[in-house]
Amino acid sequence: MDHLTMYLLLEEEEDEEILLQLANLKNGIAPVNPIFKQRRDERCYTTLINRHLQQDDVKFREYFRFNKSQFNFLIDLIKEDIKTEPYNRVQYPITPEEQLAITLRFLATGEALRSLAFTFRVSHSSRIIKKTLSSLRRHLISLYIPPSLYEKKQKAKEFCQKWNFPNCLGAVDGKHIRIRCPSHSGSLFHNYKDFFSIVLLAVVDANYKFIFIDVGSYGKEGDSGIFDKSKIGQQVRDGSIFPPPNKLPNTDQVLPCVLVGDEAFRLSTHMMKPFPRRVASADDRKAIFNYRLSRARRVSENAFGLLSQIFRVFYTMINLNPSTVDDLIIVACCSHNLLRDAFLEGSNKPFYEIDQELPPPRNFVPFARGGGFADGDGFYIRDLFMEYFNSGQGSIPWQIGSIRRTDRN
């Protein structure tokens, strides 16, 4: 096998198993490469993390996106799942701490798998990342997603207080996340933007936290159909994820709890979307509804922006198998919630810095505009919200000025 072929195999995550088989020679196991013999003294975990980052809380957080207590919390969750006992050939196996460090560094940067392998002096970083992400997914998703019924009621109150949209549980949105084309998948993952993707569909609360997520739809699927066939879409249709209907503030009008979304979603009893721009431009009352809905819906865009800036892997084409990408997205969303909890409960100082000048990632593409057919109940509920937002009980002082400053032509 020539050097070029070997290099190409090393670059492909899904071919690492083949590479392992090739490493087992006919007459015995291949000798250990000298680069690994000094790994305990020369690896990144020893020279950088243990000697420097452990003594500097700020740099530790910048490197991993987590502080030391959060890092230790994650280790306690997954240690038993990923640890390897020493044996004859490997007397010093890779520790759970180092495996988590490799995985978090990949999430934080999207660094090439071979680059991570050389940095940490391991032979196959993708196998470590796959195992660690799988364990993190199992433990984190039950802790951070979804909320309880009591929490849902609280989230509806928070949405009214912070974003002036009553009876709203959250904002729903979806993104196409760029991946490397999986082998033998044809056009299954090929989306309308002409790249390969896996879809993340999420509901975001008033504090930019993910409360429901659906991951794994193929990029080629129609955007309105992705929501309809998803578990979230099914629960929205039957109303099972919502708390009971409630009175609008300062009125006796009882309306169901809803989600807010953009034009990509279908109007229904529990899903509110804006009036068409042409219609709203001729009617201030409808324009005010659109303003109030758009103001509430921005939480989903902000949450996706925070997610991609914290975990820069979303700025790259993710070079992993689709099942591992699913785990990665779920772990990133749960980790985002963990960081948001710390921000909300702490001293109002986030554990990450947002770069206001950094453009949004081109690998994080929204759904195409234009949803499916609406139903009659959806029109009726939307009209009731519109009447409330234009009434003395439901209006806010600046809404008229906001729509008049907006170019609706």
Residue 149: band (very low, low, confident or very high) from pLDDT cuts 50, 70, 90? confident
Q: Give the Cα separation of 328 and 333 in Å (integer).
A: 9
- Residue 367 is predicted with a pLDDT of 57
| pLDDT at residue 258 is higher than 60 | yes
Q: What is the CA radius of gyration of the chain?
A: 24
Token code pair at residue 289: 């509804």
Q: Specify the pairing of strand 258-260 against strand 168-178.
A: parallel
Residue 192: band (very low, low, confident or very high) from pLDDT cuts 50, 70, 90? confident
pLDDT one-digit tens code per residue, 357-401: 555 565 666 655 555 546 788 999 999 999 999 999 999 999 988
The stretch 68-92 carries a mean pLDDT of 89
Q: Give the Cα separation of 31 and 43 in Å (integer).
A: 20
- Residue 146 is predicted with a pLDDT of 83
Q: How far is CA 213 from the centre of its chain?
A: 8
Residue 10: band (very low, low, confident or very high) from pLDDT cuts 50, 70, 90? very low
The stretch 234-246 carries a mean pLDDT of 91
pLDDT one-digit tens code per residue, 301-355: 999 999 999 999 999 999 999 999 999 999 999 999 999 988 765 544 444 444 5
Helix, strand, coil fractions of the chain, as percent rounded to 5 = 50, 10, 35
First-to-last alpha carbon distance for the chain, in angstroms, is: 64
Per DSSP, the residues of 174-239 read: EEEEEBPPPTT-TTTTB-TTSSBEEEEEEEE-TTS-EEEEEEEEETTS-HHHHHHHSHHHHHHHHT
* Cα separations in angstroms, 119 against 49, 67, 123: 12, 21, 10
Domain ranges of the chain: 1-31, 32-142, 148-405
| pLDDT at residue 270 is higher than 80 | yes
Q: Which residue has the higher pLDDT, 285 or 372?
A: 285
Q: Which residue has the higher pLDDT, 181 or 224?
A: 181
Mapping DSSP to helix (H, G, I), strand (E, B) and coil, where does residue 246 land? strand
- Per the prediction, the chain carries an average pLDDT of 85
Q: Is 95 exposed, middle or buried (0-12, 13-18, 19+ CB in 10 A)?
A: middle
Q: Which residue has the higher pLDDT, 224 or 199?
A: 199
